[in-house]
Amino acid sequence: MAESGSHLLDEALSPQRIFLTHARSKDELLSHLITQMGQCGEVDDQEALRSAIFMREGLMSTGIGLGIGVPHARISSIRRMVLAIAVNDQPLDDYESIDNQPVQIVFLVAGRPDQQSNYVRLLAVLSHVVKQETNRQALIQAGSSDEVYEVLRKAL
Amino acid sequence: MEVGILLILGIGVFGGILGAWFFQKIRIPQVIGYIAIGLIIGQSGFGIIGELQLPTLRPFSYLALAFIGFLVGGELEAKIFKQYGRQFTGIMLGEGLGAFLIVGTASGLLLWWVTGNIPAALAGGLVLGAISSATDPASTVDVLWEYRSKGLLTTSLVSVVALDDALALTLYALGTTVAGLLVGGEFSYVEIFRSLGIELIGSVLLGIACGFGLSFLLKHSESGDRSLTLLVGSLLLIAGVSLAAHLDVILCAMAAGATLINHSPHRSKPLMHTLRAFAAPIYVMFFVLVGARLQLDSQPAWLWGIVAVYVIGRTLGKYGGAWLGAKWSGSPPLLQNNLGLGLFAQGGVAVGLSMMAGQHLSGVELVGGLDLGAVVVSAVTATTLIVQLIGPACVKYTITRTGEIGCNVTEEDIIATLKVADVMQPDPVCVREEELLSTVFDTIAQTDQLSFPVVNPQGACIGVISLESLKTLFVEQEIWSWMLAGDVMVPVQDILHSDTPLEEALSLMEQMEAEETILRDPDTHVPVGLFDLRSAKRSVSRKLLQMQGS
């Protein structure tokens, strides 16, 4: 059964997986997030995650519009669903998105193949939150990981 | 070599099954396979079952006759007799008397031509004619059961073969009495009539009493296992008491079966079904013994003439008599034209009567040192072999011709014959892994599938969007514009393959609590079909209706 949005966020995210980054390309940003996620103790095979994320980007870029990117994948070498966030200091032009706007905020979601329901729910919750202009601005202007975390908690 | 009885039983049943399997492969009724194996291992073949073993195995044949009689009796429901009683009686009299008259006349004339002895020829004709009127219920019913036949012709066949034993016994009583008078033996026709009257009436009365007793006991029996044991025990008793009291085992068991089915139909019908399965190896052995008993020694040429006349005359008499009887009794054309074809089998009753005649007529010398008794025994043995080979095949032919073959089927029977490939939906609608969910939902709206295979660019099925996934996704419509089919698919579980038996498939689906599943090619993983429980059950029901001729 799908859990509530705030509960899902609490389970999947911790301030340690929120990064204020200075990447200059989509690949650099995604690689950074994957590496960080790989060190969080929940991912058993970082290369499998990297491969799955980039394979998914190969099918279609995960820029969902409004400056948001949601790279995501489900792999079996992960213990539970995890979320990592990067707020880049400037929009990335090479991150293709459905409204052709450059991407500045990236949510990387990794789940297990059998977590379809909560996985979809978390992606939908994130999509819902960032649709609000005020939430997006608050995330971009946040000065620290903790501030980003608080913006999200408040939004839910 | 001394062969133990148990080993003989083992060889008989096992060999019989192999014979049946071989004959079924060439589309010949299994009963011929049993008899053929009996011929091979019996007196005319390798002699594994010879003169020494046959008397020891005789009780086994009586037990089989009790089972057969009881199950045939179980098919005689009073309501059917109320509806068709006149027709059944007309057909039975027609086919019995037809065979009696033609075989009696033809074989009598031949015997007269060969021996010049008019009284002996008349006596032989009467006895052979009487014996020829009996039809073997065992092999006839075995074919009807094997091919799951159902319909008016089948019901009529069972009823007629069940009834004509009584006619054969009466004709035999008359025939041997007249024969005794003609050849001047020590016959007392009063005595023969009295003993056969006692045999007929006594058998029926004992059977009816046993039927009522069984009905009472079954009412108080708690479990199915105990009921079966009770039934088998009763049949052993029926066979034993009938033999001890010189009654007819098959008639007695038939009366018991008919009484039980009419007195407590609901309780006895499932029990008859169980008994039929239980009796299968006993039947096999019975028919193997029928084959083993047949002895084809060197005989004079004219005896083969008697055999030919008997077989041809009996065939014409049975078919023509059944046609006349059916016409006279106002039976429908289905019975007039086809029923006679199912009445050629000859078995235990004929052989038993020939043995009796063999004793009664052994003093009547003919030519070449042969006596009339030996001629009757040899002729009936040889003709039994011939008609047991053609009789079951003709039963199969007539039920096929009338379309009653395979109509007595249940859903379980249908399921047992099908594989997943027979009921799956081939070429299911697939979605590509890179398809946006908004497009996927457009596709979904146009089909009644509940699961959708997700395929990669090579066409291999890499996941499935199931009904459960669809429920979640339907709520989250804001992600449809950027999520792909590949993002939300769940792994494929290869529960079934195309060649999985349907019975196993249904059980697996129940265990998995699944309604629908995708089938993939084991090598390429290309989706080959969609197995949906509801569609599979609908297919089974449709096939059942088709087979039942509805």
In this predicted structure, which of A39-43, B2-6, B91-95, B128-132 has the lowest mean pLDDT? B2-6
Chain A residues in contact with B479 by the CB 8 A cut-off are 120, 123-124, 127
This complex has an ipTM of 0.88
Q: Which residues contact B443 (CB under 8 A, 6 or more apart)?
A: B429, B431, B435, B452
Q: In the structure encoding, which two tokens stand for residue B243, read together?
A: 């033999």
Across all residues in chain B, what is the average pLDDT? 83
The residue length of chain B stands at: 550
B148 and B405 Cβ atoms separated by less than 8 Å: yes
Which residue in B468, B469, B487 is closest to A72 by CB distance? B487
pLDDT for the residue numbered B550 = 44
Q: Using the predicted structure, report yes or no on whether residue B304 has a pLDDT greater than 80.
A: yes
> Is A121 in contact with B483 (Cβ distance < 8 A)?
no
Question: Which residue did the predictor score with more confidence, A17 or B42?
Answer: A17
Terminal-to-terminal C-alpha distance of chain A: 19
Q: Once rounded to an integer, what is the mean pLDDT over residues B220-226?
A: 72
Domain B414-547 sits in CATH at 3.10.580.10
Measured between alpha carbons, how far is B110 from B93 in angstroms, rounded to an integer?
A: 25
CATH class of B59-279+302-408: mainly alpha
Write out the residues of chain A at the interface with chain B, using a CB-CB cutoff of 8 A. Answer: 2, 56, 59-60, 62, 64-65, 70, 72, 98, 113-114, 116-117, 120-121, 123-124, 127-128, 131
Sheet holding B452-455, edge to edge: B431-432, B452-455, B461-465
DSSP-based three-state secondary structure for B165:
helix
**Do residue B476 and residue A59 have CB atoms under 8 angstroms apart?**
no
Poorest-pLDDT segment among A137-146, B57-66, B212-221, B352-361: B352-361
**pLDDT for the residue numbered B184:** 64
Residue A85: strand, helix, or coil: strand
Measured CA to CA, the distance from residue B374 to residue B388 in angstroms comes to 21
Inter-CA distances, A16 with A13, A40, B88, Å = 8, 8, 93
Looking at the DSSP assignment, which residues form a beta bridge with residue A103? A92
Q: Please count the other Cβ atoms lying within 10 Å of the Cβ belonging to residue A85.
A: 23
Half-sphere exposure of B508 (CA within 13 A, CB side): 16
**Are the beta carbons of B420 and B519 closer than 8 angstroms?**
yes
Q: Which two tokens stand for residue B198?
A: 């006692």
pLDDT value of position B549: 56
The CA-atom distances, in angstroms, between B129 and each of A139, B62, B112, B185, B314 are 109, 25, 15, 19, 8
Asked if residue B168 lies in contact with residue B353, where contact means CB atoms within 8 angstroms, the answer is yes
Helix (H, G, I), strand (E, B) or coil at A64: strand
Catalogue all structural domains in chain A, each as residue range(s) with its CATH number. Answer: 5-155 (3.40.930.10)
Residue B256, pLDDT > 80, answer yes
What pLDDT digit, counting tens, does each position of B503-522 carry? 999 988 888 878 888 899 98
Residue type, B362: S
Which phi and psi angles does B25 have, rounded to 5°?
-60, -35
Chain A CA closest to residue B434: A59
Q: With an 8 Å Cβ cutoff, are B490 and A121 in contact?
A: no
pLDDT at A6 over 60: yes
The gap from C-alpha B440 to its chain's centroid, in whole angstroms, comes to: 55
**Rounded CA gap, B296 and B233, in Å?**
37
CA distance B451 to B468: 9
Cα–Cα separations (whole angstroms), residue B110 to B222, B231, B304, B306, B318:
61, 48, 11, 7, 20
Quote the percentage of chain B above a pLDDT of 90: 17
Interface of B with A (CB under 8 A): 433-434, 436, 468-469, 472-473, 476, 478-479, 481-484, 486-488, 490-491
CA distance A66 to chain B (A): 13
Mean pLDDT of chain A: 90
Spatial CB neighbours of B457, under 8 Å, sequence gap ≥ 6: B432
d(CA A151, CA A134): 10
Main-chain phi, psi angles of A105, to 5 degrees: -115, 130
SS (H, E, C) B441-500: HHHHHCCCCCCEEEECCCCCEEEEECHHHHHHHHHCHHHCCCCEHHHHCECCCCCCCCCC
CB B448 within 8 A of CB B527: no
Quick one: pLDDT band at residue B28, thresholds 50, 70, 90? low
| Residue B223 pLDDT | 67
pLDDT the model gives residue B99:
92
Domain spans of chain B, in order of start: 59-279+302-408, 414-547
User: Where does the pLDDT of residue B259 fall: very low under 50, low under 70, confident under 90, or very high at 90 and above?
Assistant: very high
pLDDT at B2 over 60: no
In this prediction, residue A1 carries a pLDDT of 45
The half-sphere exposure of A69 on its side-chain side, counting CA atoms within 13 A, is: 33
Residue type, B399: I
Helix, strand, or coil (residue B208): helix
pLDDT score of A89 = 92
Segment B140-184, tens digit of pLDDT: 888 888 888 888 889 888 888 887 877 887 787 777 767 776 776
pLDDT per residue as tens digits for the range A71-107: 999 999 999 999 999 999 999 999 999 999 999 999 9
The residue to which tokens 């498939």 are assigned: B505
How far is residue B182's CA from residue B192's CA, in Å, rounded to a whole number? 15
pLDDT of residue B294: 67
Phi, psi of B316 (to 5 degrees): -65, -45
